[in-house]
Amino acid sequence: MKKYFVYIKTVLFLIFIGLILGFTSKRNAMRKIENIDIVFANEDNLFLTHQMVDNLLIQNKKRVRNQAKSLINLQELEQIVQSHPMVETAQVSVGVVGDLKVSVIQRKPLAREYSQNGVFYIDSKGLKMPLSKSYSARVPIINNKNGFIKSEEVFPLIQKIHQDEFLTKLVVTIKKDSEGYWLQTRFNHQQVLLGELNNTSDKLKKLKVFYNYMENDSLSATFKKIDLQYNNQVVCSK
């Protein structure tokens, strides 16, 4: 008899726990989204504002704020935020108390191109990226109004400049003509001729060495053209 009594108590206890969990789960599902926390990961300069992201959080033609947690489709909201042309990735999650958190990683521009088709950024993956009304990135300009430059050809050069702090500060413009690729520098607007984009790493190393030398040579400031096409040589002209 005692054995059956223990069995009944155990069953009743499990039923009671199940009811409590079910009630808690239902109550939690009915919680409404009260706060929205928008975080831009590792970004200081925002192409998107918090309000712009908040405006994207619409589901079934309704804003998610004050909607029950059970009605929120997190995957759909992530897709909506990620569809914005300034966003690389986004994660959306809901906390226990009903707070919605949106973590956004923006696309990173490496250059701004002026072409026959308009003006746009080239991002860190080599893809076109629209300009932003909220922020203008300080990146090298690609002057491609003559249509000579191919994005897939110039992108490795853009990456090398971006990865080097000295070159990032030095290079203002990239262009191409019948002689090949040119860089315009911030220093006295000097023109640097790279020619074809072969041995680019070696050419950029020579340029850095040359500018380090220029710091102690006042005459070098008078040079207008710096030619890096020749092996182990830097040819300058006024």
Domains and CATH numbers, the chain: 36-106 (3.10.20), 109-237 (3.40.50.11690)
Rounded Cα–Cα distance for residues 83 and 1 (Å): 66
- pLDDT value of position 99: 84
- pLDDT value of position 154: 96
- pLDDT value of position 47: 87
The predicted-structure confidence for 3-44, as pLDDT tens digits, reads as follows 555 555 554 445 545 444 444 444 444 567 778 888 888 666
- pLDDT value of position 82: 93
Using CA of residue 188, residue 194, residue 197, residue 199, what is the dihedral sign?
A: negative
In Å, the largest CA–CA distance within the chain is: 109
The predicted-structure confidence for 91-143, as pLDDT tens digits, reads as follows 998 877 778 889 999 999 999 999 998 999 999 999 999 998 888 899 999 99
The four Cα atoms 109, 113, 117, 118 give a dihedral, to 10 degrees, of: 80
Rounded Cα–Cα distance for residues 182 and 189 (Å): 12
- pLDDT value of position 23: 40
Q: Which residue has the higher pLDDT, 16 or 204?
A: 204
Whether the per-residue pLDDT at 87 is higher than 90: the answer is yes
The residue whose two tokens read 């909506």 is 80
The predicted-structure confidence for 44-77, as pLDDT tens digits, reads as follows 667 888 888 888 888 777 777 778 777 788 889 8
Helices 151-162 and 200-214: crossing angle, nearest 10°? 40
